[in-house]
Structure 1
C-alpha cells in the first residue's frame, strides 16, 4: 500500500507540470515581439519606406518571432531539461531574440536589408554578419531543446502531449533548414515560382498545431491506443505535407500549381486538419480549462 501511494504521488507530480511554468521572461520576450510588430504596423500605415529596407518585413518578423517564443515557452516545462539546462536555454534564447528584434527592426527603419546588405556602411555589414551567427546559434540552441523531448524522462511527464511535441520539433527543424536554404539561395525565390518562405512558415506553425491536437486527444474518451493513432496521424501527414512543399519548391514551382505534388500537399494538410477537428469535436469543453 505504501508503494502504491508513493507511485500515485510520483505520477501526480509528473502530471502537475503546467504550460508556461517558470518561463515568465521568455513569455515577456515573446510579447515584446508583438509590441514591436504593432509599432512597425503603425509606421507602415503612416510613412513610406526606403526601397532597400522594408518595415513591413520587420512587422512580420517580429510577430512571427513573438509567436515562436510564446509557443516555445508553453512547451518548455515538458522537456527533460533540468533547472540549469532550462536556464541556459532560456537566457540564451532571450539574448539571441533581443538581437534579432534589434537587427530586423532598426535596420529596416534605416532602409537597410539586415540579411542581405547591399552597398551598406561598415555598421550595416557588421550587423548583418552578427545576425548570421545569431541565426546559427538560434538553430543550435533549439536543437538542444528538441533533443530533450526524445528522452524517456520527458515522455513520462505527459506521454500523449510529448508525442505531438516531437512531431512539432521535427517540423521546426525543417523550417530551420528552409531558413538556411534562403540564406544560401540569397533570397526566398527558387526558379520561376518556388517560394521557400512557405515551407519556412508552415514548419514553425507546427509548434502550435501539433501539440494542441495531442493535448486535446488526451482530454477525449478515446482509448490510449486510439489517442496515439490520432496524434501520429496528425503529425505524419503534417510532416509529409512539408516534405512535399519542399520538393515542389525545389522544382521552382508554386504550391498552387496543378501537379501531383500539389494534390499531395493539399491531401496531407486536409487530413491533418480534419484529424484535429475530429479530436476537438470529441473533447468535452469543460475539461479543457481544468486540465491545462
Structure 2
C-alpha cells in the first residue's frame, strides 16, 4: 500500500503546483494586461493550469474508489500526472513566447509544440477512458451515492474528451486547408460544453462525500446525488445544444 499512497501524494502535490501556476499567471495578466480572449493571451496558462491541476487532484482522489489493481492504478496516475505537466508546460511556454499554443504550424518549433500537445491530449483520452471503463466494469466503493456519482462523473467526462477531440480535429482540418485564423477561432462554440462536462468527475463525487458527513439516511443521500447528476447532465446538454446552434 505504500506505492499508491506515495503516488497519491505526488499527484496532489503536482496538481497544487499546476493550480499555483494558473494563479501566478492570473497575477501576470493583471499586471501585463492584454486581451483575455483569443489564441494569444494569458487566459490559457491561467485556465489550463487551474483546470489541469484540479482535474489531476480529482482523478487521483476518485480513482481511490475504483476497483483497480494497485500497481496499474499507480502507473496510470503517474503517466497522467506527467502528461498534465507537459500540457500545461507547453501552453505556458507558448504564452510567454506570445504565440498560439494549439494548432500553430507557423514554424518547426511551434509545430513540434502543437503536435506534442495534441499527442498529450490523445494520451489523456486513453488514460481517462481506462478509468471510466473500470468505473462501469466494477461498482465503485464508498459511501451511499458515491458509485452513482463516480460513474456519472466519468460518463460526463467522456463528453468533455469527445468535445476536446472535436475541437482539435476541426482546427487541424482548417489549418491544413490554409485557414489558420479560422482554426484559432473555430473552437469557441465547444468550449462551454468542454468546460462544464470536464469537472463533473470532481463535483458529483465531492457532493457524495460531503453528504456522507450528514446524518441523512443512505436513501436520501442517493436521491440527492441522483438529482444532482440529472441537473448536471441537463447543464451539459444545454451547453451541447448551444454549441450546435452556434455552428
What TM-score do you get using the length of structure 2 for normalisation?
Answer: 0.82
CA distance in 2, matches of 1:210, 1:58: 26
Query: 1:234-284, CA deviations, whole angstroms, 9 ceiling, x for partnerless residues?
Result: 11221132123202211118xxxxxxxxxxxxxxxxxxxxxxxxxxxxxxx
1:268 maps to what in 2?
Answer: none
Residue 207 (str. 1) matches residue 198 (str. 2)? no
- The residue correspondences of 1:90-239 to structure 2 (distance < 5 A) are 90-119=77-106, 121-152=107-138, 154-155=140-141, 157-186=142-171, 195-239=189-233
Superposition deviation, residue 48 in structure 1: 5.5
8 Å contact from structure 1 (residues 52, 111) kept in 2 = no
Superposition deviation, residue 178 in structure 1: 1.5
Superposition deviation, residue 122 in structure 1: 0.5
**Inter-CA distance 153–246: structure 2 relative to 1 (3 Å threshold):** closer
8 Å contact from structure 1 (residues 103, 114) kept in 2 = yes
CA distance in 2, matches of 1:66, 1:246: 25
Q: How many residues align?
A: 230
Residue 73 (str. 1) matches residue 60 (str. 2)? yes
**Inter-CA distance 54–234: structure 2 relative to 1 (3 Å threshold):** same
8 Å contact from structure 2 (residues 7, 78) kept in 1 = no
Bigger radius of gyration: 1
- Picking from 242, 247, 252, the partner of 2:246 is 252
Superposition deviation, residue 64 in structure 1: 1.2
CA distance in 1, matches of 2:195, 2:153: 13
Superposition deviation, residue 190 in structure 1: 6.5
Unpaired stretches in structure 1, ≥5 consecutive residues? 1-19, 254-292
**Inter-CA distance 48–137: structure 2 relative to 1 (3 Å threshold):** same
Superposition deviation, residue 226 in structure 1: 3.0
Superposition deviation, residue 99 in structure 1: 0.9
8 Å contact from structure 2 (residues 144, 208) kept in 1 = no
Structure with more contact order per residue of length (Cα contacts < 8 Å, sep ≥ 6): 2
**Inter-CA distance 223–43: structure 2 relative to 1 (3 Å threshold):** closer
User: In angstroms, what is the RMSD of aligned CA positions?
Assistant: 2.6
As a proportion of its length, which structure holds more helix? 2
Query: 1:200-253, CA deviations, whole angstroms, 9 ceiling, x for partnerless residues?
Result: 111122123211222233344444333322221211221132123202211118
Query: 1:97-134, CA deviations, whole angstroms, 9 ceiling, x for partnerless residues?
Result: 12112110001111121112152x21110111121111
8 Å contact from structure 1 (residues 154, 162) kept in 2 = yes
8 Å contact from structure 2 (residues 58, 202) kept in 1 = yes
8 Å contact from structure 2 (residues 145, 221) kept in 1 = yes
Superposition deviation, residue 163 in structure 1: 1.6
CA distance in 2, matches of 1:54, 1:48: 9
8 Å contact from structure 1 (residues 171, 204) kept in 2 = yes
8 Å contact from structure 1 (residues 188, 195) kept in 2 = no
- Picking from 46, 63, 87, the partner of 2:31 is 46
CA distance in 2, matches of 1:198, 1:106: 24
8 Å contact from structure 2 (residues 143, 208) kept in 1 = no
